[in-house]
Copies of this chain bind each other. A is one copy, B any other.
């Protein structure tokens, strides 16, 4: 059977104007750590997560009863309830609560991708659930890597390659960025964590003690959750009755 659906990759939000989002399912990825946090939060019973680019706009959500999560340059923002570690989301108190989140790269990538037909949040933690969703859709797919302040990064690119590999039965790589990501993933597939431990992110945040976070974020198929953007909120499409 001929594979007709396509999967494109945008390696940095700075390059989104060179790619097409329309009529596609967009998978947004910011492995370290925004989309890993969103996946973990929804898996642990958070009701919804609202991504906001503006720090002060996010801060004001506290008054509306939201838990506020804020990170800039890898560090928790002062006055916010939590920062950007997935472990912070695994709290019984968060079950059924609403979270507003702002991060250095991830929230920007999500907001710039709203032109797509569907926006899905991807991470290694829910790779299988995302692959199942994309595979069952009739649409082409674009994986949007959040990168780091406009630069291409390793961990998001490796995720893109991993997802393309999982989609090999239904979608074929569409363009050079997709083939680069797939090659980089296939070359490193047996040592993903080791490779990501050499990444700019790991080096940059070493002093913040994020190695435990990185190890967690690189674990594959921990959760079956499927975070979908509905209006301004990300909710679990898996448990959603719609």
Contact = CB atoms under 8 A, between A and B. Distances in A.
A14 interface: yes
Contact of A149 (B11, B18, B151, B176): B18
Contacts of A187: 183-184, 186-187
A11 B176 CA distance: 12
B195 A184 contact: no
A198 B180 contact: no
Nearest to A179: B154
B176 A151 contact: yes
Contacts of A17: 150
User: So how many copies of this chain end up in the complex?
Assistant: 2
Question: Which label, helix, strand, loop or mixed, suits the secondary structure of the A interface?
Answer: helix
A157 interface: yes
B152 A11 contact: yes
Contacts of A200: 175-176
Interface centre among A152, A187, A195, A199 (most CB of B within 10 A): A152
A154 B181 CA distance: 10
B188 A18 contact: no
A201 to B, nearest CB: 8
A150 B15 contact: yes
A15 to B, nearest CB: 6
A19 B150 CA distance: 10
B18 A15 contact: no
Contacts of A199: 176, 179
Contacts of A179: 154, 195, 198-199
A97 interface: no
Contacts of A149: 18
Given A152-B176, A183-B183, 7 more contacts: A11-B11, A15-B15, A15-B151, A153-B176, A154-B176, A180-B181, A183-B184
Interface of A: 11-12, 14-15, 17-19, 148-154, 157, 175-177, 179-181, 183-184, 186-188, 195, 198-201
